[in-house]
Amino acid sequence: MLKKLIKPYVGLRKEIYIIFISRTINAMGAFVFPFLTLLLTKKIGLTEAEAGVYIAASGILVIPSSLIGGKIVDVIGRKKVIIIFETLAIFCYGSCFMLEPGIPMAYLLILSGVFFGIAGPAHDAMVADLTTPEQRTGAYSLNYLGFNFGYAIAQLFAGYLFAHHLKLLFIIDAVTALIGVALIGLFVGETIQETAKEKKEEKRVLEKSEKGSVFRVLFSRPILIMFAVALFGYRFIYSQWSFMLPLHTAFNFGEEAGPMLYGTLGAFNAVIVVCLTPLLTALFRKKTNVKRVIYAGILFFLGFGLLGFISTYEAFFACVFIFTLGEILEATSIMPFIMNHTPSSHRGRMSSVLPLIMGFGFTAGPLVMGSVLEATSFAFAWKVSAVIVGISTIGMLGINRFERNSRVIDDGMDKALNESARGSA
């Protein structure tokens, strides 16, 4: 059984393990963004609706930053983009250490999100460059595992630091991020040249280098557009993990106990990911990426939706456990699906454009639910979120059927070509 659990993580290139260590250390200081909603409302003094606007604005700014990042990643390389723009984001964190809570601090955090948005496509493209389609689920799963291991450690202290030592959050986040960037800078070489080697591999037809814009490539592969659009509801409801859930815990349990509980839930979430990611990866290894995302949608519907009916202390932990199982299945399936359908020449750009389409849900979530909360209640708001992810899950079922039919057609064409070739011989 142990061999089956670790099999997806064995035999990867050494750079993948360096990236894993980098993400783990970086996540050990992931204090700021999980508490952004509470920072805006409890420390800076904004209303829930105003905080939703700021968070939505941050999400909207990711659109141009990610597009810029995706383009330059495919031109100048992955490593340079990571080092330059993540260093700028770290500078923003360090600057917040010297400020008192206020609007300038909020602007700096939004700016840091822009820089991280530019660097984001470089990480996804780098992992794809260093892996084959068969290795990708394991590689992305390993990085996801590393992030959550570090995040679990961070959240053990995050609630206390937020309540009593706010400035330490910024300096620790900056230092750990700097170490993470340094590891990639020192031990991982540029990987964009790996795409040239893949041109010679005939078996990876969907990854063959192509000319033209990312939109031409995208419209030639409609399943990628459908997949990204269907994920809107997934992102919409998952944005409530960092927006509505901390507000709900503070509303139920008070201004100090609420953030402490939210930090504990964050640690609980990360521990589940660390413990169960290898198990779920092994159990669902024979399922397609789309099928795993369907199961994730069902778990999101149940986990988040139940908070609309029960919101006791124990219920928060039960719901987090349920939707975290969905998070694992979704997070370890999305990028492998995208990269397995993307030309090697467009990995950076596809890593920016498709997450932007998916990310509209993450941007709309706080904006919409902030207004819903102002007019209704947490119970009603959770039910609305559950309905939205339920609709997206139904859409994913349609994509699964489309993919299955496409595979039958492709297999039939290959068979016909082979028979024709034998007849000619």
In a domain, 396, yes or no: yes
219 contact partners, CB below 8 Å, separation of at least 6: 225
Q: Which residue carries 């822009």 as its tokens?
A: 114
In a domain, 269, yes or no: yes
Find, among 137, 86, 136, 134, the residue nearest to 112 by Cα: 86
**The length of the chain, given as a count of residues:** 425
pLDDT by 10s per residue, the chain, length 425: 667 788 888 889 999 999 999 999 988 887 777 778 888 888 888 887 888 888 878 877 877 888 888 889 888 889 999 999 999 999 998 898 888 888 899 899 889 989 998 998 899 889 988 988 888 888 988 998 898 888 878 877 777 788 788 888 889 889 999 999 999 999 999 988 776 565 555 455 666 767 777 778 777 788 888 898 999 999 999 999 888 998 899 888 887 788 888 888 988 888 898 889 889 988 888 888 899 999 999 999 999 999 999 888 899 999 999 999 999 999 889 988 888 888 877 887 877 788 778 878 887 888 899 889 988 899 999 999 999 999 999 999 999 988 877 654 444 434 443 444 344 44
Find, among 328, 323, 304, 324, the residue nearest to 381 by Cα: 304
301 token code pair: 């519907």
pLDDT of residue 197: 62
- Report yes or no: 353 and 217 within 8 Å, Cβ to Cβ: no
Q: Cα separation of 46 and 232, whole Å?
A: 27
Q: Cα separation of 23 and 13, whole Å?
A: 16
In a domain, 196, yes or no: no
Q: Which residue carries 């990236």 as its tokens?
A: 19
144 token code pair: 């996801």
54 token code pair: 């700021």
Find, among 237, 49, 156, 390, the residue nearest to 245 by Cα: 237
HSE-CB at 329 with a 13 A cutoff on CA atoms is 25
Q: Say how many C-beta atoms besides its own lie within 10 A of residue 336's C-beta.
A: 23
Count of domains in the chain?
A: 1
HSE-CB at 330 with a 13 A cutoff on CA atoms is 27
- Report yes or no: 118 and 65 within 8 Å, Cβ to Cβ: yes
pLDDT of residue 152: 78
Core vs surface per residue 260-293: b (16+ CB within 10 A) or e: bbbbbbbbbbbbbbbebbbebbbebeeeebbbbb
212 contact partners, CB below 8 Å, separation of at least 6: none
In a domain, 5, yes or no: no
Radius of gyration from C-alpha coordinates of the chain: 22
For residue 280, give its domain range: 15-191+221-424
Q: What is the pLDDT of residues 334-353, one digit of tens each?
A: 988 888 888 877 887 877 78
Torsion, Cα 48 49 54 55, to 10 degrees, reads 70
- Report yes or no: 151 and 30 within 8 Å, Cβ to Cβ: yes
pLDDT of residue 33: 75
Plot region of 45 (φ>0 → left; ψ -120 to 50 → alpha; else → beta): left
267 token code pair: 């640690």
Q: Which string of DSSP letters, residue by residue, matches 222-252? A: HHHHHHHHHTHHHHHHHGGGTTHHHHHHHHH
In a domain, 274, yes or no: yes
Angle at CA of residue 274, ends 271 and 279, nearest 5°: 125
In a domain, 4, yes or no: no
Q: What is the pLDDT of residues 83-139, one digit of tens each?
A: 999 999 999 988 988 888 888 998 998 899 899 989 988 998 899 889 888 888 889
246 token code pair: 């901390």
CA dist list (Å): 87 to 180, 181, 184:
10, 8, 12
pLDDT of residue 137: 83
- Report yes or no: 144 and 324 within 8 Å, Cβ to Cβ: no
In a domain, 244, yes or no: yes
- Report yes or no: 200 and 323 within 8 Å, Cβ to Cβ: no
In a domain, 177, yes or no: yes
Report the CATH number at residue 158. Answer: 1.20.1250.20
Q: Cα separation of 321 and 149, whole Å?
A: 16
Find, among 215, 60, 27, 191, the residue nearest to 124 by Cα: 191
Q: Cα separation of 364 and 113, whole Å?
A: 17
- Report yes or no: 22 and 178 within 8 Å, Cβ to Cβ: no
pLDDT of residue 195: 67
Q: Is the whole model's pTM more than 0.75, yes or no?
A: no
